[in-house]
Amino acid sequence: DAGVIQSPRHEVTEMGQEVTLRCKLISGHNSLFWYRQTMMRGLELLIYFNNNVPIDDSGMPEDRFSAKMPNASFSTLKIQPSEPRDSAVYFCASSLPSGGPQDTQYFGPGTRLTVL
């Protein structure tokens, strides 16, 4: 079975440009999570959706970041305009919550973003 799919795997852009990151959930999963990982701050949750509805976006750094889930299997994370401090690895993860505390989140391979 295919895991979480992210694209692009690498993105290099210039400051001020719009960046769109894409994620496809594992088939049948209904929760989606966007994380950002940097050396200084580690892995941080940006936003997560359950059944296409944003549940918690308190980790979104500022208005330049927006995330959507237009259908049950796909999500985008957009940064507009991008800044050098946005350079990081962005991971998407999905899960199928059963209501218990041990629901596993499966991570995609990540998108390595460099903003010059």
Partner 1 sequence: RKEVEQDPGPFNVPEGATVAFNCTYSNSASQSFFWYRQDCRKEPKLLMSVYSSGNEDGRFTAQLNRASQYISLLIRDSKLSDSATYLCVSLTGFQKLVFGTGTRLLVSP
CB-nearer residue toward partner 1: 75 or 108: 108
Residue 111 beta carbon to partner 1: minimum distance, rounded to whole angstroms:
11
Residue 8 beta carbon to partner 1: minimum distance, rounded to whole angstroms:
15
Q: Per-residue DSSP letters for 80-112?
A: SS--GGG-EEEEEEEE---SSTTPPPEE---EE
Residues in a beta bridge with 53: 50
Structure tokens that stand for 74 in this block: 């796909």
Residue 42 beta carbon to partner 1: minimum distance, rounded to whole angstroms:
4
CB-nearer residue toward partner 1: 59 or 81: 59
Residue pair 70/14 in contact (Cβ under 8 Å)? The answer is no
Q: Which residues bind partner 1 (CB under 8 A)?
A: 31, 33, 41-45, 48, 50, 55-56, 91, 95, 97, 101-105, 107-110
CB-nearer residue toward partner 1: 54 or 81: 54
Residue 82 beta carbon to partner 1: minimum distance, rounded to whole angstroms:
22
Residue pair 65/59 in contact (Cβ under 8 Å)? The answer is no
CB-nearer residue toward partner 1: 70 or 101: 101
Nearest to 103 by CA among 46, 30, 47: 30
